[in-house]
Structure 1
Amino acid sequence: MTAMYSLFNDRVEAGRMLAERLKEYVGPGTVVLALPRGGVPVGFELAMALGAELDIMPVRKLGVPSQPELAMGAIAPGGALFVDTQTMRAAHVGQAQFDAVLAQEQSELARRETSYRGERAPSAVEGRTAILVDDGIATGATMQAAVKALRERRPARIVVAVPVAPAGAETDFAAIVDEFVCVAQPALFFSVGQHYDNFGQTTDEEVRDLLERARAGGK
């Protein structure tokens, strides 16, 4: 089914278009950190185009209990936590409800990190350019948590790169990243998926396969 305002055929095309905006980062001094699951196909294309290492930055959205797709925060490894207090208040989410969602997502975050990476240590980012990639930004909560977690690892430069985001999204990151790169920021923005013709769910198996292919040089 074709999206009403589609900009990309799929995440593969989106990743290749994003790579055109990031050619200055070609080489081993760059590491691409993709947000699972949907950011991994985008990140794979970007890493292959740049000749860069690909790894994941596991994050989990903290959804409002009555509207799970609406983010009231997000978490990332190392205890990174981003909380949208305004959304919590608007949705009348109490602390006990928040804590229950947080505990559930912490468990899922740990499961996914083990599932995707196994026993391998995270890629070294200290002193390198780290590019955080997702298939798009809606509220920005998960990317905010990812930036917070990444900063603890002391990269030389943090770049947030996405195919699509709402107009003005870069202002949320201006003070916390070195660069914000986005292919398109349409005026009509209801969800990330509306801008893709094909936006099927990326599976755990696909994530693992793309990481293995990246380690094998894209084969």
Structure 2
Amino acid sequence: MSAPRRFADRTEAGERLGAALRERDLDVDVVLAIPRGGLPLGRAVADALDVPLDVVVASKIGAPGNPEYAIGAAASDGTVWRNEEAFVGTRTDEAYFEREREREAENARRKAERYRGDRPEPDLTGKTVAVVDDGVATGSTVRACLQMLRESDAERVVLAVPVGPPQTVGELRELADEVVCLLTPRGFRGVGQFYDRFDQVSDEEAMAYLDRSA
């Protein structure tokens, strides 16, 4: 399958990712999508592989006075990834980081619970897990999710994304057992640049994709 130059929408990107994972014969047992944008794509991947769909959640830790600039991210179980270069560059102190880590981990935990509803967390023991999102830029939340799964009982962790800059994708290979990325353009400015349609996904829309899981 030739690599696309761009994607029509998240569903098409997910279909292409699902095909790429099938071609690699990775024997994925469960797909974990990162809300919100990862769920339309995750639904298509899970359907292509005929496996269950669930979520993995992390929340960005913003720099002091600049919440949009990620200095790290915290996953729903409290696992943290820290961007040491950004931490030092913004002169962030440990007390601030720890305080924000606790707050964002709680936000991630609540979000995961809201998305799952009455469903229990999936048992990942001995399983091959595919983590999917609609793309990566700096990859802060993806890194925290991968870190959490590396410390779980999962047998193998695969990251599958449609697009990301070469440097970020290369760095993510150190956190996952395998990375499948369809497009790694050098002229990367943002994930939405590579989609014809890249609308915001609401929580309600995202949860509807999860409700259709096997």
> Fold-level match, TM-score > 0.5?
yes
- Counterpart contact for 1:26–1:52, Cα < 8 Å: no
Question: Structure 1 residues 59, 90: CA separation in 2 closer, same or farther (over 3 Å shift)?
Answer: same
2:69 equivalent to 1:70: yes
- Counterpart contact for 1:75–1:81, Cα < 8 Å: yes
**Partner deviation per Cα, 1:25-71 (whole Å, 9 max, x = no partner):** 77985100111111111111000011011000011111224333321
Question: Structure 1 residues 210, 80: CA separation in 2 closer, same or farther (over 3 Å shift)?
Answer: same
2:31 equivalent to 1:51: no
Aligned twin of 1:117:
116
Paired amino acid for 2:20 = R
Gaps of 5+ in 2: none
Paired amino acid for 1:59 = A
Greater Cα shift, 51-60 or 185-194: 185-194
Aligned twin of 2:134:
135
Greater Cα shift, 67-76 or 52-61: 67-76
Question: Aligned residues, how many?
Answer: 210
TM-score (norm 2): 0.89
Distance (whole Å) between structure 1 residues aligned to residue 77 and residue 109 of structure 2: 11
- Counterpart contact for 1:27–1:51, Cα < 8 Å: no
Seq. identity, %: 39
Gaps of 5+ in 1: 1-5
Aligned twin of 2:183:
184
Root-mean-square deviation (Å): 2.1
Distance (whole Å) between structure 2 residues aligned to residue 9 and residue 95 of structure 1: 43
Aligned twin of 1:18:
17
Paired amino acid for 2:186 = A
Alignment of 1:81-160 (within 5 A): 81-160=80-159
- Counterpart contact for 1:34–1:132, Cα < 8 Å: yes
Question: Structure 1 residues 69, 195: CA separation in 2 closer, same or farther (over 3 Å shift)?
Answer: farther
Paired amino acid for 1:38 = G
What secondary structure does 1:149 align onto? helix
- Counterpart contact for 1:26–1:50, Cα < 8 Å: no
Question: Structure 1 residues 153, 192: CA separation in 2 closer, same or farther (over 3 Å shift)?
Answer: same
TM-score (norm 1): 0.87
